[in-house]
Structure 1
């Protein structure tokens, strides 16, 4: 394939780090403005605890300083964390003119490139989003359900009976294949494996990798050099797929997202950025959510039994309740990020323009005043109650920047849930629940959601 395709002139992947600078800001409060209290620990300590363990660090800070507190986190600078559900909603769903997202998400630029919808605001964001919305309409997603189901069945069929394995790795493999087939339109198994290997490393951003964001010179050394080489390989493969799709005479009949992104003849770099944005947003989060879904069900036998009862009913509401309850307690993103364009009041504090505000989705999803005394318990039945506080549920963000692939992710999770429970019986490797640990902004099972297939049902 590559012998027939033209070579595109483009910047090396490592140049994206040299062309980017951390958006560190320390706005000073004006008259009547002030920052909430916060810890006095060195910025290095606060940064490490935020990036590596915010799911334990932030609740401790909330208990000590209240629902609104200030941290200093590299490479961003001063950040105000808001935990009260009303303030979380205000920041997440407020006017994009007051609570823009773009500058906060510039952290993604070295990974995906300049011009990602993640880091745009205003007219530029609306134009980019308009281009990327059509592939995720309900009818388009309905057209790829059979592909999702087939890939899920193939994955589950490969699970060994009697062996214990980390379910999260299986789900990462599956969701990446779904994206490569459905989003990129790659069908050849050898090519799928090649693209999966390259993109898998790029999307697996490790804590050590983040040092490149702060010190770009590291891109020439040790593990960072290896990471850059993987990014470069992924770029090369993406450009090859873009070129192949552009030259495909049957492109107008293709159901994949890449074929639609080429409508209007955008340049190849723009399409590469859009593809990586979709890959970044739809791979790790969905895989981890799927792993948590089973980790929770396997430790709640009544909920598991109720889910099994409705497997043959395509309209059973309990499956959606299981998915929502999983996303409530094991958030796709622990927090969102905004930067005030004008002064604003949050949590009883008048904050100056330029302040980075990070609303804690996790705090809003487990607030006892909102969800009740059982707020931290896994109870899917709460979603069958018409009085459930759905307005406090923000798994995909909200407002103008709500996740493009929300329906895609929910559909994929339901297909995975039905396929696994239909084809195999799983058991956890031990009775105790797995603790969540942070992996970037996502909480992952500490031991990978380890399970064992005890039998194949053959249904």
Structure 2
């Protein structure tokens, strides 16, 4: 089979797999489910899909820490705010709490071999295989490249002109992905791969329909979604083949080269690098945008961060990173689908139900964080121990994001690099609202900034 034929077959197979996984049958006996709204399934679905940052805290305030939502596809969902309940989920047996099924809609992009879509017992060896590139020493060796990319990007921004920092963060983190993760040095190939990966990651809510109904892939506009994925696959497989033939591959420090050392199956490697794209590119870009959105509206915090930008590690910069992700979480919930009935929070939950720790709700709960829970105050991270299981932007347990340290180092490195290169100000002085985009919560106006002046050039 030709490369293009293989890519098409793989894409179509992943679409069919996603469709079959999403049709999980739920036990007819719902036992004693937690309380929840009596609104129609359609209305609950619309509110959850388009505004969960407001909807979930509202439902918790109305019904308590354990709430049932009837949402399609994949529902009913049991939403959790209590840290003790969240701990039970994260520490629960992987054979019972299936995160892979909770991520089943991602199968068409990340594939069947992704740590995001696998469940026990296949998940553990797959995760172990992906861990070596994320050892702290290996990530630290890549920071100089990240810093160079960040400073070069920031110095390209025009002085006095409004810039959507979210768009620039997408471009910047994708550049890091192509050069640091894929290790593509050729500028033309890097640009081509960047464009293809951006098209794949730029999936709208209506595009997801083709993952649920694969037959839509034959008609416009969903045909373009499938074609974009096939094109990206073709380029990724070409990079894999090129790297396998590289006689100096063992000396390279990029993630792709490291993954190839122990994995002979090209499809597995393809799924692993696509996982890094989905889990590490868009989420990191959004985190960066929110970080700058918060910083530029808190000049005292910004001034203190600037004091430490020449330090490789700065405790206050890390505190700012953590606080930004607390008050502006990129992902508002994670999911586990039950394979067996369980007792949780005083309720008997049947097999097939998805339980969702509510990231945004637990991270803004004043019972845990105090009366100033919604305020951006990085000093709280230097004053004492934060509440356990109440800061979960990377999930938890055996499914905690394995790229969490990579993301933190990347964000802190890029932040320092940009601040070395330019002085910025927010275009709009007021706090920026949020909006759903794919699975992430983005600044509603794109975190618009303008460059006051360039520094050090």
Q: Which moved more, 1:278-287 or 1:340-349?
A: 340-349
Relative to structure 1, the CA distance from residue 242 to residue 353 in structure 2 (aligned partners, 3 Å threshold; closer, same or farther) is same
Instruction: Note the C-alpha offset of 1:313.
Output: 3.2
Write out the 4+ residue segments of structure 1 that deviate beyond 6 Å after TM superposition: 5-8
Q: Paired residue for 1:149, among 138, 147, 150?
A: 147
TM-score (norm 2): 0.95
For residue 8 of structure 1, report the CA deviation from its aligned partner.
7.6
Question: After the TM superposition, which residues 139-178 of structure 1 pair with which residues of structure 2 at under 5 Å, given as runs?
Answer: 139-178=137-176
Bigger Cα displacement from structure 2, 393-402 vs 48-57 = 48-57
- 1:352-411 residue CA offsets vs partner (Å, 9 max, x unmatched): 233211110111111111110111110000011123325421111111111111111000
Question: Quick check: 1:159–1:453 contact (8 Å CA) kept in 2?
Answer: yes
2:287 to 273, 286, 289: 289
Structure-1-length-normalised TM-score:
0.94
- The aligned residue for residue 430 of structure 1 is 428
Counterparts of residues 243-254 of structure 1 (less than 5 Å):
243-254=241-252
CA distance in 2, matches of 1:388, 1:332: 19
1:23 and 2:23 aligned: yes
CA-CA distance at 1:70 after TM superposition = 1.1
Does the Cα contact within 8 Å between 1:24 and 1:75 map onto a contact in 2?
no
In 2, distance between residues paired with 1:13 and 1:70? 34
Mapped pair 1:209 → 2:207: yes
Tell me, in whole angstroms, the C-alpha distance in 2 between the residues paired with 1:80 and 1:44.
17
Instruction: Note the C-alpha offset of 1:135.
Output: 0.5
2:397 to 392, 399, 405: 399
* Paired position in structure 2 for 1:39: 37
Rounded Cα–Cα distance in structure 2 between residues aligned with 1:265 and 1:372: 48
Matches within 5 A, 1:176-187: 176-187=174-185
- 2: distance between equivalents of 1:111 and 1:144? 26
> Separation in 1 of the partners of 2:327 and 2:90?
18
Question: Aligned partners of 1:168 and 1:6: how far apart in 2?
Answer: 35
2:341: which partner in 1?
Answer: 343
What pairs with 1:41-440 in structure 2 (closer than 5 Å)? 41-440=39-438
**Native 8 Å contact 2:309 2:420 kept in 1:** yes
Corresponding residue SS for 1:40: coil
Q: Aligned in 2, Cα 1:185/1:9: closer, same or farther, shift over 3 Å?
A: same
State the distance in 1 between where 2:247 and 2:411 align.
33
Q: CA RMSD in A?
A: 1.8
User: 1:249-306 deviations in whole A, cap 9, x for unaligned?
Assistant: 1111111111111123421111111110111100000000001001001111111111
Cα displacement string for residues 44-94 of structure 1 (whole angstroms, at most 9, x for unaligned residues) = 222222111111222222222222111122221311111222222222333
Q: Does 1:447 align with 2:449?
A: no
Is the 2:26–2:351 contact (alpha carbons within 8 Å) kept by the matching residues of 1? no
- Contact 2:84 2:389 (C-alpha < 8 Å) held by counterparts: no
Q: Helix, strand or coil for the counterpart of 1:118? A: coil
Write out per-residue CA displacement over residues 151-202 of structure 1, whole angstroms, 9 at most, x where no aligned residue: 1111111111010011011011011111111111101111111000000010
Give the secondary structure class of the aligned counterpart of 1:119.
Answer: coil
Per mean C-alpha deviation after superposition, the further-off stretch among 163-172 and 201-210 is: 201-210
**Is contact 1:84-1:363 (8 Å) kept?**
no
Secondary structure of the residue aligned to 1:13 is helix
| Greater alpha carbon shift after TM alignment, 314-323 vs 35-44 | 35-44
Contact 2:147 2:414 in 1 (8 A): yes
Secondary structure of residue in 2 paired with 1:122: coil
d(CA) in 1 for partners of 2:53, 2:383: 28
Rounded to whole Å, the distance in 1 between the matches of 2:27 and 2:287 is 36
Q: For structure 1, list consecutive stretches of 5 or more residues without a partner in the other structure.
A: none
Displacement of 1:12 after TM fit? 4.9
User: Contact 2:77/2:353 (CA < 8 Å) preserved in 1?
Assistant: yes
Q: Distance in 2 between matches of 1:345 and 1:59?
A: 23
Name the structure 1 match of 2:12: 14
Give the number of equivalent residue pairs: 453
Closer, same or farther in 2 for the Cα pair 1:313/1:115, shift >3 Å?
Answer: closer
Note closer, same or farther for the CA distance 1:60–1:25 as it changes in structure 2 (3 Å cut). farther
| Residues 1:265 and 1:391: Cα distance change in structure 2 (over 3 Å) | closer
User: How far, CA to CA, are the matches of 2:310 and 2:178 in structure 1?
Assistant: 29
CA distance in 2, matches of 1:19, 1:416: 37
CA contact (8 A) 1:85 1:367 kept: no
